[in-house]
Amino acid sequence: MSTESKQPTPADLEAIKLQLGRTPRDVHAIAARCPCGKPAVVETPPRLSDGTPFPTFYYATCPRLTAAISTLETTGMMAEMEARLTSDAEVAGQYAAAHDDYLAARAALGMDVPEVEGITAGGMPKRVKCLHSLVAHSLGAGPGVNPFGDEALAALPQWWLADPCPAQSSDESEVK
């Protein structure tokens, strides 16, 4: 899984449009790619071009990935993780550090958006409410940054192998 951030190309934006079923809004960078080469996670600025505040900096776009995460959310994993926040000081500290990392990555864009100040995603730092956000953070920031995102990512199947990504053409369907 490539996690090198980069500016989106017109082909990336078209792939994301197919993935989401709508025109993507204000994609700042591709934070992570599927093994097929298509975008899997994008970075979005904290204020959209229409003025809307948007706290979700790392956003999963790959429909195979998001479907796999949705299935994982039904397993009770989030409740188990959240329980560990009160019983395991080390993991609670790592999760708080993940929250700080998320804020720092978004702040690096240099946009002051008071409406989302201190707000990240996925329930950080006190709750676990969205594995999609936590996995997107792990894929975008890299392994070792978000302990719960890493755990969820490790529990996911290899979503890119089941079928070609919807944003792929038939000649790109084989993972190299």
Q: Is residue 171, in this structure, part of any structural domain at all? A: no
Q: Is residue 132, in this structure, part of any structural domain at all? A: yes
Q: Is residue 91, in this structure, part of any structural domain at all? A: yes
Q: What residue numbers bound the domain in which 53 lies?
A: 10-161
Hey, CA dihedral for 139, 140, 141, 145, is it positive or negative?
Answer: negative
Report yes or no: 90 and 98 within 8 Å, Cβ to Cβ: no
Q: What is the pLDDT of residue 161?
A: 79
Report yes or no: 120 and 99 within 8 Å, Cβ to Cβ: yes
Report yes or no: 147 and 98 within 8 Å, Cβ to Cβ: yes
The pLDDT tens digits for 55-81 are: 999 999 999 999 999 999 999 999 999
Those residues whose C-beta lies under 8 Å from the C-beta of residue 79, and which sit 6 or more positions away, are: 128
CA dist 42 and 60 (Å) reads 6
Q: What is the pLDDT of residue 167?
A: 45
Run means of pLDDT, 10 residues per run, the chain, 176 residues: 72 95 95 92 96 96 94 96 97 98 96 95 96 97 97 91 56 36
Q: Is residue 174, in this structure, part of any structural domain at all? A: no
Q: Is residue 110, in this structure, part of any structural domain at all? A: yes
Q: What is the pLDDT of residue 59?
A: 96
Domains identified in the chain, total number: 1
The pLDDT tens digits for 36-46 are: 889 999 999 99
Q: What is the pLDDT of residue 44?
A: 96
Q: Is residue 74, in this structure, part of any structural domain at all? A: yes
Q: Is residue 4, in this structure, part of any structural domain at all? A: no
CA dist 112 and 64 (Å) reads 33
Q: Is residue 119, in this structure, part of any structural domain at all? A: yes
To the question of pTM greater than 0.85 for the whole model, the response is yes
Report yes or no: 107 and 57 within 8 Å, Cβ to Cβ: no
Q: What is the pLDDT of residue 160?
A: 78
Which region, left, alpha or beta, applies to residue 51 given φ > 0 means left and ψ of -120 to 50 means alpha?
left
